[in-house]
């Protein structure tokens, strides 16, 4: 006979921790399988990518990446044999399929468009959002509550509901298929989120900091720059990630409003399928590269992101 070990009512027991861990790991695995599948497919040859049963173990190839970055034309074996030696790995791989590289594909310019538009609109939304949030937080703005509600109300409707009017408007204004047009659009969608998120963060920064700076001889703008901004970096980073993720992933407007020079990666990647058969490795390669910037950005700022998500959930 012995007394059972006393255990805390609040702290989770070892067993419940183990169960929780198992559930989280299982969920993480389920979530990551599609991503791993895309990553694996990007290194398969086209025949391997459609093999049935699916190949788990395969000979890796960068043919998908070669196809993603190039356009190719089909030629007779005689013509290919008449060419000089292959100039690189991609050239060699393509020739095995009776094709020659005709030139670079549109993937790189489309990817650059995505970078410019997503980061540009994120910068604008966060910039405008920070200033507006500061204004709402510190000054007596007439009808402040109504204005804030109006800003929030711009998110009540799914943005795509106004796709047709925007399409017509952009065509009139010459903003269709321009990076500027897309930056304006994404900024408009994101700025409401930015204002609301940042207002919460700036409200938390005691106004004594600016008052102290202003008494010490700084103008309000200097005080804002030197005392408020450094303390709002967490909030600004969290807001920037949310805005960037939206702008980076946005498909519907991009598909509708961009078709050529300003086209972003999301509407471009599916069009790869149409070029010379169903080239799944190239699509997977495009998707993999597309995932990298947001992955890096999120990992770099993950602490701030977590803070942004749980913001207001815990009282200090």
172 is a contact residue toward another protein (CB under 8 A): no
- The answer to whether 128 touches 106, Cβ cutoff 8 Å, is no
CA-wise closest residue to 125 among 201, 178, 182: 182
Number of residues that bind another protein (CB under 8 A): 17
| Nearer CB in complex with another protein: 58/218 | 218
| Nearer CB in complex with another protein: 50/229 | 229
Task: Tell me the closest approach of the beta carbon of residue 205 to another protein, in angstroms.
Answer: 10
| CB-CB neighbours of 114 under 10 Å | 23
Distance of alpha carbon 276 from alpha carbon 72, whole angstroms? 9
Exposure letters 248-287 (e unless 16+ CB within 10 A, then b):
bebeebbbbbbeeebbbbbbbbeebeeebeebbbbbbbbb
Task: Tell me the closest approach of the beta carbon of residue 201 to another protein, in angstroms.
Answer: 14
Hey, which residues between 95 and 154 contact another protein (CB under 8 A)? Answer: none
| Nearer CB in complex with another protein: 43/134 | 134
| Nearer CB in complex with another protein: 92/211 | 211
234 is a contact residue toward another protein (CB under 8 A): no
**Torsion of Cα atoms, 265 then 161 then 310 then 131, to 10°:** 80
Task: Tell me the closest approach of the beta carbon of residue 227 to another protein, in angstroms.
Answer: 6
Hey, which residues between 243 and 272 contact another protein (CB under 8 A)? Answer: none
* Selected binder of another protein within 53, 77, 84, 217 (CB under 8 A): 217
| Nearer CB in complex with another protein: 190/227 | 227
- The answer to whether 55 touches 44, Cβ cutoff 8 Å, is yes
Task: Tell me the closest approach of the beta carbon of residue 33 to another protein, in angstroms.
Answer: 43
Residues binding another protein (CB under 8 A): 206, 208-209, 211-219, 222, 226-227, 230-231
């Amino acid at each position: 006979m012995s007394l059972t070990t006393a255990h805390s009512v609040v702290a989770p027991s070892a067993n419940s921790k183990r169960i929780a861990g198992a559930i989280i790991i299982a969920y993480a695995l389920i979530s990551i399988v599609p991503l791993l599948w895309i990553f694996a497919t990007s290194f398969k040859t086209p025949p391997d990518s459609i093999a049935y049963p699916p190949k788990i173990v395969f000979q890796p190839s960068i043919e998908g990446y070669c196809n993603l970055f190039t356009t190719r034309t089909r030629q007779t074996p005689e013509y290919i044999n008449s060419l000089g030696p292959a100039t690189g790995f991609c050239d060699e791989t393509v020739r095995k399929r009776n094709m020659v590289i005709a030139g670079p594909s549109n993937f790189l310019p489309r990817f650059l468009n995505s970078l410019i538009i997503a980061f540009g609109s994120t910068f604008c939304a966060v910039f405008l959002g920070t200033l507006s949030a500061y204004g709402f937080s510190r000054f007596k703005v007439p009808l402040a509550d109504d204005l804030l509600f109006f800003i929030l109300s711009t998110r009540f409707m799914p943005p795509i509901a106004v796709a047709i009017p925007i399409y017509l408007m952009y065509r009139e204004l010459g903003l269709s298929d321009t990076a500027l047009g897309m930056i304006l659009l994404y900024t408009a969608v994101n700025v409401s989120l930015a204002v609301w998120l940042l207002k919460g963060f700036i409200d938390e920064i005691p106004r004594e900091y600016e008052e102290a700076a202003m008494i010490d001889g700084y103008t309000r703008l200097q005080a804002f720059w030197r005392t408020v901004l450094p303390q709002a970096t967490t909030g600004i980073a969290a807001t920037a990630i949310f805005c960037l993720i939206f702008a980076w992933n946005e498909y519907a407007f991009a598909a509708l409003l961009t078709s050529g020079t300003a086209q972003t990666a999301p509407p471009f990647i599916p069009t790869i399928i149409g070029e010379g058969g169903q080239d799944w490795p190239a699509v997977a390669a495009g998707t993999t590269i597309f995932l990298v910037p947001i992955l890096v950005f999120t990992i770099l700022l993950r602490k701030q992101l977590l803070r942004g998500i749980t913001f207001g959930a815990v009282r200090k």
